[in-house]
Amino acid sequence: MPELPEVETVVQGLKKQCLSQPICKALIHLPRIVNGTAPSLKKALVGQEIVTVTRHGKYIFLHISNDKTVVVHLRMTGQLFTTPVDRAKDKHTHVELFFDNSDTKLIYRDIRTFGRFTLINTSDKERYLIDHKLGPDALTMKKKDLIEALKNRKVSIKAALLNQEVIAGIGNIYVDEILFREKLNPLTTPSSLSDDAIGSILKTTKAVLKKAVLNKGTTFSDYVNSYGEKGKFQLSLKAYNRAGQPCSNCKTTIVKVKVAGRGTYFCPSCQKL
DNA sequence: CTGTTTACCTGGGGGC
DNA sequence: TGCCCCCAGGTAAACA
């Protein structure tokens, strides 16, 4: 589900909803979504509060008031949102956080249960980024760093942009949107691109991701923000999930193929190899 | 070392 | 209605 714009939308919402509220109870209904042990995570949370929430790529960092940080990754179908405290949980709700004096609780829902919670020491955050091979965040990456990261890559441009070590935050929806707007075939070899072409890719990447953030992300089935609301950027997609529909530039039919093991949508006329 | 495939899960949709 | 197969916003482990 969630790529950078969806994760950023969740983070912005959580900062408005959940900061500086003492956590009085934590329920972890599905312990296997926790890296480490559920009891140690629960112990770290209860009696503390969320001091701030940050993001790098698709990773969410809940900084807790005891110098601990809970790293949350939503993977495909994870949802982090608030709901009334008295609303009964359904079978896909795996974590519930209750706050003092609040009529809402923060819950984690995940149909496919790929998402993970990890407890780290806040001082180990940089180490965590390195260990998980996360490159610069897509919204702040510098042109020269993308040029360097793409140098000597033998994979397709699509695979390279999906590689979180190259650039963090792009996923399967937005990579297709970026390549469509750049008129680049997904199979293009990165080494064939000029420095200016790479600069253009980065500029388009930031523009697409920022516009998606303003639209509160893209919802196809499961994604909701921290208020439980769907995104709207699916209305602005030009390539992803548009197989059989006319290209917005040339009216050629958008096709779907498989690149880098992922469903890939592109215009065979505008995005020639 | 780099690149590719598979495994992890549940559910929705299409074909029959 | 039901069964079977394929597909899905991601990543890490296993494999070549």
In strand C, the nucleotides that come within 7 Å of a protein beta carbon are: 7-12
CA distances from A56 to A4, A93, A198 (A): 8, 25, 22
pTM: 0.98
- CA A29 / C1′ B10 distance in Å: 17
Report the pLDDT averaged over residues A78-93. 97
Closest CA to A3 of A231, A236, A228: A231
Q: Which helix (H) or strand (E) is A209 found in, with range?
A: helix A195-214
Query: A15: helix, coil or strand?
Result: helix
Considering chain A, what is the average pLDDT of its residues? 97
Summarised one tens digit per residue, pLDDT across range A142-172 is 999 999 999 989 999 999 999 999 999 999 9
A32: its two tokens:
């296997």
Alpha-carbon span A36 to A48, nearest angstrom: 19
CA A186 – CA A265 distance, rounded (Å): 9
Percent of chain A surpassing pLDDT 70:
100
- Model pLDDT, residue A152: 86
Whether A55 CB is under 7 Å from strand C = no
A250, amino acid identity: C
Q: Is the CB of A15 under 7 A from strand C?
A: no
The pLDDT tens digits for A2-52 are 999 999 999 999 999 999 999 999 999 999 999 999 999 999 999 999 999
Nucleic strand C contact set for A 112-171 (CB, < 7 Å): 112, 114, 132-133, 162, 164, 171
